[in-house]
Structure 1
Amino acid sequence: MSSPKNAFYAQSGGVTSVINVSAAAVIETARRYPEKIGKVYAGRDGIIGALTEDLIDTSVESPAAIAALKHTPAGAFGSCRYKLKGFDKNLAEYERLIEVFKAHDIGYFFYNGGGDSADTCLKVSQLGEKMDYPIQAIHIPKTMDNDLPLTDCCPGFGSVAKYTAVSIREAGFDLKSMCKTSTKVFILEVMGRHAGWTAAAGGLAAENEGDDPHIILFPEVVFDEAKFLARVKHSVDTYGYCTIVASEGIKNAEGKFVADAGSVDAFGHTQLGGVASTLATMIKTKLGLKYHYAIADYLMRAARHVASKTDVEQAYAVGEAAVEFAVAGKGGVMVAIERQADEPYTWTVGEAPLDQVANVEKKMPAEFISEDGFHITEACRRYLAPLIAGEDHPPYRNGLPAYVQLENTPVEKKTGREFTVA
């Protein structure tokens, strides 16, 4: 009987408050199948760890340390923004992956990330067919943007959605108490390049007429300055103040990002940031109103202290299912969350073919956005509400969350050569 193959696990793209929950699930589940899986090696800084043979031996970590990942935000093994080129454009990368996988007897590949990560996982899954190196590649979904197709939602999103709704509700209470003699407008800028899911989540805070937020700006709706300013003025005239949740990815009629910073990231995406300041300047110049704004940015995706219990449970379930799929002989798929009912919210875990997931963005459907383009509909509320349900607080020590930092013991290199990542 042949010895069990080792597994490679890595985190990719922007991290979340629950990506480590999936990591814990992969490691804990793999340890339940010693006859199928040898060791789980984590790639330091994502796929780069595989290319540079910078592997981490998770087997030296105690069960308690791995369990503590479930309440620790960010990427315990480091993440990256790096996309493998096509086989015809950089064959050396794939030859290097095979070299490293062979050297460390790796037969399972678990990649935890979003749309671009699904593309990387798809390419790795094709190594067997294209380069005669069979490997079972499973994509574990993760993205706070909630824009992966063929899954009801994406682990990482529920907690960000909760953070957004809580933050705009609390800021609204603050603003309302001071608006008579002070600030009239508050803008919360949230992440979301092409899909408005994160901004939409702010709408959950508005349960009654006049509740915060008064305005939501979605990437799916063309930004019209005149209509926007008119709505701001109406809110201030009606309620005494105006609260706004603005997606970083809103565009004008010419299709240009309002917050285009003029540069791109490692995936070729336009660098965004600053839409709140742009809107604030517009409000001050055209309406003469005093404003404040906040950019949630990394704070929202790292906020493990306000994580959704649903999100934590789903993050663990997809990591666990990935391993179970692999030991059952599956590959070339993404673990998917399948909604069974809204009330009470029930869901199961299924699978989706990677070639239908990679590089596809799921945007907000029209029926989720109000007719005037400034808020969410009841259908959207029904979809979003279960995803922020429940609390899963981390343990605290000395008044602060007690997070874990793993040893991240390196695996001895065996290939005998260095590889430079461009």
Structure 2
Amino acid sequence: MANGTLLYAQSGGVTAVINATASAVIQTARARKVKVLAARNGILGALREDLIDTSKESLAAIRALAHTPGGAFGSCRVKLKSLEADRAKYERLLDVLRAHDVRWFLYNGGNDSADTALKVSRLAQEFGYPLTCIGVPKTIDNDLAVTDCCPGFGSAAKYTAVSVREAALDVAAMADTSTKVFVYEAMGRHAGWLAAAAGLAAQHEGDAPHLILFPERAYDEAAFLAQVDKVVKRVGYCVVVASEGIRTADGTFVADAGGGKDAFGHTQLGGVASHLAGRVKDVLGYKVHWTLPDYLQRSARHIASKTDVEQAMAVGVAAVEYALKGMNSMMPVIVRTSDAPYRWKIAPASLDKIANHEKTMPANFLRKDGYGITAAARRYLEPLIRGENPPPYGRDGLPRYIALKNVAMRKKLAPM
């Protein structure tokens, strides 16, 4: 058995496939005779010395994680500040790692998580503690820098495209005497990747979605309402997909929920679909329906993309391999090597090139009128939603998801 233990933690909003990454991490480490601990509720568990002994789980349970959504060990939205501002917390974290002989730390999250992993790595170096820190990519927003795409996005994109296509068939059937406009709200604060994925639902001229609103383009209400009216008169109905992060020209979020900021300093958003629906009804007089899928977009494991599941597991395997090789402050990222046929590989990238960076939609992915996607966007997006990887179903007709025992390690330190 290798000397030391490996600590794995999940961060931020979970995805339909983050547990697939966890499954791959634990199975790969077990094959190398490395004990894996998991922090309960992300970085908070590490700070509280609330650690889970994954060796208490059967191999069958660990394998079942690969088809189970959510975060098996719990996650959290907590961002540590700079080493100077939050030094006591970082030193506490180092004390916990020492107490449990943690030599490898894998943090599964997005931009902010990559930043935390990088800071922990630097602090360990400062104190001369032998620790290898690896960031593991995860986010449905697909806004992580360097990597071609991000595990979690492909499945959320598939859910979005399928949901929009199915809802559009419903609207089309009722448009003559009922709903004329349907508004679908997609996640995406600063980047419109999920909204763009809805564009895959349209295969022919006139297909829904007819209008897509991206954070990368300023929202102009008068122009938008004119487009809605134009589409209804031409097609008979209009399906709109709006990213939650759309802003007006002055930078104000259309869907600012007035709830202040979250732990990452992000404005709380919510309700862009209801707002747009209200404006369409009040100004144009059309009957409108709207939907806010919210967590459904990131939890829909039953409709996961096979590509996404495979990539989620591949980064988990690579993360352990990088860690055991001592490749400190790195992240396994996805590199696209071919569009047709679609091919990809995993490669290492430095955390300092990823931490606190953000990848938005390229200009050539957005249609010139700003309301749809281009052929280039379609070439990029389509392979990411390909293939099916459904969970096993029980006789009750529901997916058979796993709930781990999550046995806690005995604490060795005084509470924080």
TM-score (norm 1): 0.97
Equivalent position of 2:397 in the other structure: 399
- The CA deviation string for residues 393-420 of structure 1, in whole angstroms up to 9 with x for no partner, is 00011101110000000000011x101x
Amino acid at match of 2:213: L
SS in structure 1 opposite 2:106?
A: strand
Equivalent position of 2:96 in the other structure: 100
The answer as to whether partners of 1:127 and 1:135 remain within 8 angstroms in 2 is no
Per the TM alignment, residue 105 of structure 1 is displaced from its structure 2 partner at its CA by: 0.4
Equivalent position of 2:29 in the other structure: 30
Equivalent position of 1:20 in the other structure: 19
Equivalent position of 1:277 in the other structure: 274
> What is the aligned counterpart of 1:344 among 341, 349, 352?
341
SS in structure 1 opposite 2:307?
A: helix
SS in structure 2 opposite 1:167?
A: helix
SS in structure 1 opposite 2:256?
A: coil
TM alignment of 1:70-81, pairs within 5 A = 70-81=66-77
CA distance in 2, matches of 1:216, 1:27: 40
SS in structure 2 opposite 1:401?
A: coil
Per the TM alignment, residue 130 of structure 1 is displaced from its structure 2 partner at its CA by: 2.3
Amino acid at match of 1:310: T
SS in structure 2 opposite 1:351?
A: strand
Equivalent position of 1:355 in the other structure: 352
Per the TM alignment, residue 3 of structure 1 is displaced from its structure 2 partner at its CA by: 5.5
CA distance in 2, matches of 1:176, 1:94: 56
Aligned Cα root-mean-square deviation (Å): 0.9
Equivalent position of 1:387 in the other structure: 384
TM alignment of 1:9-408, pairs within 5 A = 9-34=8-33, 37=34, 39-262=35-258, 263-397=260-394, 398-408=396-406
SS in structure 1 opposite 2:267?
A: coil
Identify the range of structure 1 (46-55 vs 93-102) with the bigger mean alpha-carbon deviation.
93-102
The answer as to whether partners of 1:16 and 1:144 remain within 8 angstroms in 2 is yes
CA distance in 2, matches of 1:193, 1:123: 25
Per the TM alignment, residue 133 of structure 1 is displaced from its structure 2 partner at its CA by: 1.8
CA distance in 1, matches of 2:266, 2:29: 35
Per the TM alignment, residue 126 of structure 1 is displaced from its structure 2 partner at its CA by: 1.0
The answer as to whether partners of 1:308 and 1:387 remain within 8 angstroms in 2 is yes
- The CA deviation string for residues 206-264 of structure 1, in whole angstroms up to 9 with x for no partner, is 11000010000000000011110111011100110000111000000110000001211
Unaligned runs of 5+ in 1: none
CA distance in 2, matches of 1:327, 1:232: 55
CA distance in 1, matches of 2:188, 2:83: 30
CA distance in 2, matches of 1:123, 1:60: 31
Identify the range of structure 1 (124-133 vs 136-145) with the bigger mean alpha-carbon deviation.
124-133
CA distance in 2, matches of 1:134, 1:3: 14
SS in structure 2 opposite 1:396?
A: coil
CA distance in 2, matches of 1:260, 1:134: 44
Amino acid at match of 1:31: R
CA distance in 1, matches of 2:192, 2:32: 40
Amino acid at match of 1:58: T
TM-score (norm 2): 0.98
SS in structure 2 opposite 1:108?
A: strand
SS in structure 1 opposite 2:139?
A: coil
CA distance in 2, matches of 1:272, 1:59: 40
Unaligned runs of 5+ in 2: none
| Number of residues of Structure 1 aligned to a counterpart in Structure 2 | 414
Amino acid at match of 2:18: I
Amino acid at match of 1:15: V
- The CA deviation string for residues 254-280 of structure 1, in whole angstroms up to 9 with x for no partner, is 100000012111111000000001101
Per the TM alignment, residue 131 of structure 1 is displaced from its structure 2 partner at its CA by: 2.6
Overall identity of the aligned pairs, in %: 61
Runs of at least 4 residues off by over 4 Å = none
Amino acid at match of 2:221: E
